[in-house]
Amino acid sequence: MTNATNQPGAGDIEPQDGLVSELRRDGDLIMTGAAGYVDDLPLGHVAHAAILRSPHPHARIVAIDVEKVKAARNVLAVLTGDDLVGMVNPLPHLFDPKIFGLPTAEFYALATEKVRWVGEPVAAVAAETLADAERALDLIDVVYEEIPFVTDAVEAMARGAPKVFDHWEDNVLAMFPFEEGDVDAAIAASTHVIKDVISIQRFQAAPMECRGYVGDWTRGGKITIHASTQQPHQVRTKLSVTLGVTEANIRVVQPRVGGSFGLKFHGYQEESLVCLLSRLAGRPVKWLETRAESLLIGAREFRHEFRVGFEPNGRINGVHNRSIGNIGCLSTWGGWSMVYPNGMSFPGPYAIKNYKMESYGVVTNKAPWSGARGYGKESATLVIERIVDLVAKKIGMDAIDVRRVNFIASDQFPYWTRAKHLDSGDYQGALDQVVELSGYHEWRRVQRDRPADGPLLGVGVAFDLTPEGADASSLIRGHDTTTVRVSPNGAVSVLTGVTSSGTGNETSIAALVAREFGVHPSTVSVFQGDTDISPYGFGSFSGRSLVAGGGAGVLAAREIKDKLRTAASVLLEVEPGDVVFSDGQVRSAANPSRAMDFALLCEQIYSTSYVNPGLLEPQLEATCTYRPGNVTMVPDEHGRISPYPCFPYSAHVAVVEIDRETGYPRVIDYSCVHDSGTVISPKLVDSQLNGAIVMGIGGALYESQPFDDKGHPEALTFKQYLLPRATDLPTIRLGTQVTPSPFTLFGAKGAGESGVGGALASVAIAVNDALEPVGVTVHQLPLTPSRILDALLSSDVAR
């Protein structure tokens, strides 16, 4: 262990000790319509924006004529790409590929010279009403010269393919290799070798609230933007660069957010467009993304080509995987970077000594990627688990036993792979628990005994190892900062740089801080998402908000607590070490009758410090930054790094039934056991897990953004982009295992992402398990009835 950090260990809060059963904050406001999302806010005399988007996947912009728009009724402002050049700077990237030594490109908020994807912003209009703005778009004349395009990643890699960026050598943006041992030799020496492919489609986060921004550029030169975003501070920093306005004059406010799941990272064109339109219009300007616009945003489209060598006893000797990510066009949105975790997640929870994972990011003329829950890790889980299942099928061993043979054992932690320093865990224990919880062996019996002509029944097992807490060389960092402030009447304010997109971390952060002071959580207020109020922080992503923001809050609370303890020892005339905080009181442990209210102690400090000897300065405020341990950016002597500190995981069993006539698959039973380390709010974590599982089921069976042969996305509404509905799902059974992280302040590992990959994989495996008796497989997700039916119809056995 080379990175045993200087951070306090998990013993700090006992796993059971931290549990709270507080109701989610603001539930009463949400239940009565007073929640206040970005479209709900009274922000003055607001004008409305609409964006003209490219109708072509690849074209040169020959001319744009906006004269008719300028004269149109109720139109307040219009912008094109040419207007922006010279007026503002290009948009900074969320992750600029050049920091990794990769090719890059410069983008303005509106296309200049060329459009490279259907939906790329070309012009923006602000008008009195949304209808006025949308009508105005029809009055803009754009002359395009269409040029050849490519939407398939494998075609885009071929010699002579149309180049998305003229100044690049080819369309390959990145190839991240992750390798240990000698995979070719290991596979060559193996008794069995399997070669296969599995592909995951383009599907996205689809929060119920689309993106939205309201920009207000006042005559005094100050900008306020209300943004449905995960990262208000980064929106501010990037707006400052784009607009040439000091960050001090920009305020970004994140109101309540209606879900995000990675879609609301920063780097979007509309963030600066609403500000620029506001300056021109002299009024606040609101832009709300339509569902069709939101469904443009891509993620996760990978094709995995793999080889695995293994022994009759199930031992996997070597795995080679070539992943080709169709990242759409490069943009300033950072989603392309999920090509990295897709690779670094290899080889999952298994102690495979020889592996080679090559993760490619290839640009095409599809809309770019933004973040999506799982961030490529779900894609890795899908292929790793598919490989394990194929190995099991080949040697006639239960896939559970193949995992048993290959798991990293619980006494091997911390455990190094190429780009992971795995913190802690009991993988076999979690699997055993879900086998029990799901009645796995009973399902296998049901499967064996079912009538030969009945519905096909499949059981799928998957294990989802989910690196969390990403610390990347950019404005995506693993640490965060929290201020705790205690007022004279004992009210506690927590101002934190982490945000909530609806996850509920504010509820848990309040509980953690309240616990330090021995007060009720209802006396603790949490403020997030306002750059004028919160300390600089990185918002929410990678399941890190509670670990980092909550950790910083605990540290800040402890700093204040030290002052309170000193003051209490003076006022109660006891030793500082004898002072305890509980039930809203501060008292002597030895002599509980020496006690005072927490509020009175605070009041005494503010009103009598400097007068009352022994009381320190009359200030109860502290700001702390917490960085989880276990992050290693500088390669060790073996060239290993660990950009993720935490590794929660989950074990899944899905049971799927398939109608032979229609190919319709249905998940009829689902169980999952997860380990997120120490859990602060069990109900909230379980609810996150349910959501992650259902997102994975959606990806396995329903959700997809296909493109037609003209390069147009085909899913423009939820009638084409199918989200799972309540009737598509069985009751989900959950179980919990707790192995605290030894590297974080209170042992939490993070929650929210683990489950997507496990559900994708377990359902895909279950479908293929159901198809096994008829001798066919399907390996292009989503596993739709038509794909399954095609497979069934191709089966000799079925005939």
Binding site residues, other proteins, CB under 8 A: 23-24, 26-28, 30-37, 39-40, 68, 71-73, 131, 135, 205-210, 256-259, 261, 288, 290-291, 501-504, 683-684, 687-688, 690-691, 693-695, 717-719, 723-727, 729, 731-732
Pick 72 or 275: Cβ nearer other proteins: 72
| Residues constituting the chain | 799
Pick 47 or 595: Cβ nearer other proteins: 47
Distance CA 173, CA 361 (A): 5
Pick 107 or 261: Cβ nearer other proteins: 261
What pairing do the DSSP bridges indicate for beta strands 121-127 and 47-53? antiparallel
The position carrying tokens 């405020």 is 621
Pick 23 or 409: Cβ nearer other proteins: 23
CB neighbour list of residue 186: distance below 8 Å, 6 or more residues apart: 309, 317, 318, 353, 354
Tokens representing residue 60 in the block: 């040169």
Whole-angstrom CA distances from 554 to 42, 238, 559, 608 are 35, 30, 9, 26
Supply the minimum distance, in Å, between the C-beta of residue 339 and other proteins. Answer: 24
Does residue 512 contact residue 554 with C-beta atoms inside 8 Å?
A: yes
Distance CA 723, CA 701 (A): 9
Tokens representing residue 411 in the block: 């006494």
Question: Going edge to edge, which strands form the sheet with 316-326?
Answer: 172-180, 354-362, 316-326, 302-310, 192-200
Supply the minimum distance, in Å, between the C-beta of residue 759 and other proteins. Answer: 10
Beta strands in 642-799, from DSSP E residues, in sequence order: 649-658, 665-675, 732-736
144 φ/ψ angles, rounded to the nearest 5 degrees: -110, 150
Pick 18 or 698: Cβ nearer other proteins: 698
Distance CA 264, CA 334 (A): 11
Supply the minimum distance, in Å, between the C-beta of residue 727 and other proteins. Answer: 5
Distance CA 94, CA 370 (A): 10
Supply the minimum distance, in Å, between the C-beta of residue 71 and other proteins. Answer: 4
Supply the minimum distance, in Å, between the C-beta of residue 335 and other proteins. Answer: 18
Pick 36 or 103: Cβ nearer other proteins: 36
Treating both helix axes as pointing N-terminal to C-terminal, what angle do 377-395 and 756-771 enclose, rounded to 10 degrees? 30
Treating both helix axes as pointing N-terminal to C-terminal, what angle do 785-793 and 756-771 enclose, rounded to 10 degrees? 30
Supply the minimum distance, in Å, between the C-beta of residue 286 and other proteins. Answer: 12
Pick 16 or 731: Cβ nearer other proteins: 731
Supply the minimum distance, in Å, between the C-beta of residue 731 and other proteins. Answer: 7
Supply the minimum distance, in Å, between the C-beta of residue 70 and other proteins. Answer: 9
Pick 632 or 681: Cβ nearer other proteins: 681
What pairing do the DSSP bridges indicate for beta strands 665-675 and 524-528? unpaired
Pick 65 or 583: Cβ nearer other proteins: 65
Supply the minimum distance, in Å, between the C-beta of residue 132 and other proteins. Answer: 9
Tokens representing residue 532 in the block: 């004028």
- In terms of Cβ atoms closer than 10 Å to its own Cβ (0-12, 13-18, 19+), residue 280 is middle
Pick 49 or 624: Cβ nearer other proteins: 49
Supply the minimum distance, in Å, between the C-beta of residue 291 and other proteins. Answer: 5
Return the C-alpha torsion angle 602, 603, 604, 606, nearest 10. 90
Alpha helices in 166-268 (DSSP H): 183-188, 232-243
Pick 373 or 561: Cβ nearer other proteins: 373
Supply the minimum distance, in Å, between the C-beta of residue 763 and other proteins. Answer: 13
Pick 528 or 569: Cβ nearer other proteins: 528
CA within 13 Å, CB half, 354: 19
Whole-angstrom CA distances from 111 to 94, 120, 137, 278, 712 are 18, 7, 15, 20, 18
Pick 138 or 708: Cβ nearer other proteins: 138
Pick 278 or 681: Cβ nearer other proteins: 681
Supply the minimum distance, in Å, between the C-beta of residue 669 and other proteins. Answer: 13
* Residue of 319, 340, 260, 327 lying closest to 117 (CA atoms): 327
Supply the minimum distance, in Å, between the C-beta of residue 34 and other proteins. Answer: 7
Distance CA 718, CA 712 (A): 17
The H or E element spanning position 382 is: helix 377-395
The H or E element spanning position 84 is: helix 81-84
Pick 71 or 634: Cβ nearer other proteins: 71
Supply the minimum distance, in Å, between the C-beta of residue 684 and other proteins. Answer: 6
Pick 660 or 733: Cβ nearer other proteins: 733
The H or E element spanning position 135 is: helix 130-137
* Residue of 377, 381, 339 lying closest to 360 (CA atoms): 339
- In terms of Cβ atoms closer than 10 Å to its own Cβ (0-12, 13-18, 19+), residue 726 is exposed
Whether residue 414 has a cis bond before it, omega within 30° of 0: yes
Supply the minimum distance, in Å, between the C-beta of residue 724 and other proteins. Answer: 8
Supply the minimum distance, in Å, between the C-beta of residue 214 and other proteins. Answer: 14
Pick 228 or 483: Cβ nearer other proteins: 228
Supply the minimum distance, in Å, between the C-beta of residue 289 and other proteins. Answer: 11
Distance CA 667, CA 499 (A): 34
